[in-house]
């Protein structure tokens, strides 16, 4: 039992460090991809190809002065970034990134490569993500500044609206896999159809996948849905009054949330760690490749599409995305029930 416990603690540490470094790496990817899309070269001076740039950024941020507006609510102002960062880390806890393994015989029994295998794991991800909105709302209110408040109001309205489409897209996969456990859903996508096409849910559920990714971009407040922090209108939105470490926590949370949404999409629609050519012990390589691809799409979309108008966002969410998601769910349920697949 002792060895297994140590292995699980190591897995927790690995997930924690991986998320922090994924956030740092994404900052670099974001700047590089954006630069090439705009025919520039991006950071090149700090380290090889500018790879140390995010670390330079973080060090710079940590040594800045911590400012707090005089009229701000001191307790909530400090609490908000902590909530944001904590929920971002916790949301990843039930996502498996590889098949259960004994680490080449080191352990007496195989351990699952995730922090916690919960039988309602998918709902846990959803619940924790829905708590993340508090960090933004509280920061907006506690700052006692109009830009922050407007950003927070926009954010909460946007997240509530898109959570419905997001949840409905999740439900289609739950109906197909007949389980709420992320591990079971991934395992249901093992193997191939007709010997060539992997049994990934993205093929029968292309509509669901597109809805999920669209709602996911809105949930993480990324362009073209980045209204809570629309620079031209709201300075920086909910984190206008934040500086130094507290700002860094918000920044970290945003990037980790992107990684989480990509990881959930990978597990639900792209077959998780299952893939051809690699033995099952190295499935985590497939997982990383798929998550990396989705993260690239995230950045690609941000620097290609202009921001919508706020009323367009609401119209799109309520009058297009949600009805399509509901029809898709009903159709999926009917097909599953009729053919008993």
Partner 1 sequence: MSDVLFYVFGAVAVLTSALVIGQSNPMYSVLLLVASFGAISGLYVLLDAPFLAVIQIIVYAGAIMVLFLYVVMLLNAPQEDATQWDRLHPLRQPGAARLGVILAALLVVQLAWALSKTSGIGEAVANDDATVVSSVTEIGRVMFTEYTFAFEATSLLILVAMVGAILLARREGE
Interface residues with partner 1 (CB under 8 A)? 73, 76, 118-120, 123-124, 126-128, 130-131, 133-134, 137-138, 140-141, 149, 152-153, 156-157, 159-160, 163, 180
225 contacts: CB under 8 Å, gap ≥ 6: 158, 162, 217, 218, 307, 308, 313
Count of all residues that appear for the chain in the document? 341
Rounded to the nearest whole angstrom, what is the least distance from the CB of residue 126 to partner 1 in the complex? 6
CB of 220 to partner 1, least distance (A): 16
Q: How far apart are CA 219 and CA 315, in angstroms?
A: 16
Kindly state the smallest distance separating residue 98's Cβ from partner 1, in Å.
24
Smallest gap from residue 47 Cβ to partner 1 (A): 41
Taking the least distance from each CB to partner 1, the nearer of 238 and 255 is 238
CA 272 to chain centre: 15
In the bound complex, what is the minimum distance in angstroms from residue 133's beta carbon to partner 1? 6
**Is the distance from CB of 217 to CB of 317 less than 8 angstroms?**
no
CB closer to partner 1 out of 53 and 172: 172
Quick one: 116 or 235, whose CB is closer to partner 1?
A: 116
Contact 32, 42 (CB under 8 A): yes
Are 249 and 238 contacting, i.e. CB atoms less than 8 angstroms apart? Answer: no
In whole angstroms, what is the distance from residue 66 CA to residue 188 CA?
49
- Cβ distance to partner 1 smaller for residue 83 or 324: 83
Q: In the complex with partner 1, which residue's Cβ is closer, 77 or 298?
A: 77
Quote the tokens at residue 169. 């897209």
């Amino acid at each position: 039992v002792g060895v297994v416990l140590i292995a699980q603690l190591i897995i927790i540490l690995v997930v924690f460090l991986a998320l922090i470094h994924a956030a740092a790496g994404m900052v670099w990817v974001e700047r590089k991809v954006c630069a090439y899309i705009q025919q520039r070269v991006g950071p090149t001076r700090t380290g090889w190809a500018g790879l140390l740039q995010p670390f330079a950024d973080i060090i710079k941020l940590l040594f800045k002065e911590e400012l707090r507006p005089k009229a701000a609510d001191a307790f909530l102002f400090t609490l908000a970034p902590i909530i944001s960062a904590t929920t971002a880390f916790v949301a990843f806890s039930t996502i498996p990134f590889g098949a259960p393994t004994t680490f080449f015989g080191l352990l007496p029994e195989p351990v699952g490569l995730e922090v916690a295998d919960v039988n309602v794991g998918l709902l846990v991800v959803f619940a924790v993500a829905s708590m993340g909105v508090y960090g933004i709302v509280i920061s907006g209110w506690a700052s006692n500044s109009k830009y922050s408040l407007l950003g927070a109001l926009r954010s909460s309205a946007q997240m509530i609206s898109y959570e419905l489409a997001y949840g409905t897209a999740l439900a289609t996969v739950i109906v197909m896999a007949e389980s709420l456990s992320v591990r079971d859903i991934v395992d249901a996508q093992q193997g191939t159809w007709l010997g060539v096409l992997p049994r990934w849910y993205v093929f029968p559920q292309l509509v669901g996948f597109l809805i999920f990714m669209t709602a996911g971009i809105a949930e993480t407040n990324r362009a073209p849905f980045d209204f809570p922090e629309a620079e031209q209108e709201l300075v920086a939105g909910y984190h206008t009054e934040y500086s130094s470490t507290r700002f860094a926590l918000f920044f970290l949370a945003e990037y980790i949330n992107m990684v989480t949404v990509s990881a959930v999409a990978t597990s639900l629609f792209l077959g998780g760690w299952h893939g051809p050519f690699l033995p099952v012990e190295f499935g985590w390589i497939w997982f990383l490749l798929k998550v990396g691809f989705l993260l690239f799409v995230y950045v690609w979309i941000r620097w290609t599409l202009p921001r919508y108008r706020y009323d367009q966002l609401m119209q799109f969410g309520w009058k297009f995305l949600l009805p399509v998601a509901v029809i898709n769910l009903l159709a999926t349920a009917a097909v599953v029930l009729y053919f008993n697949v």
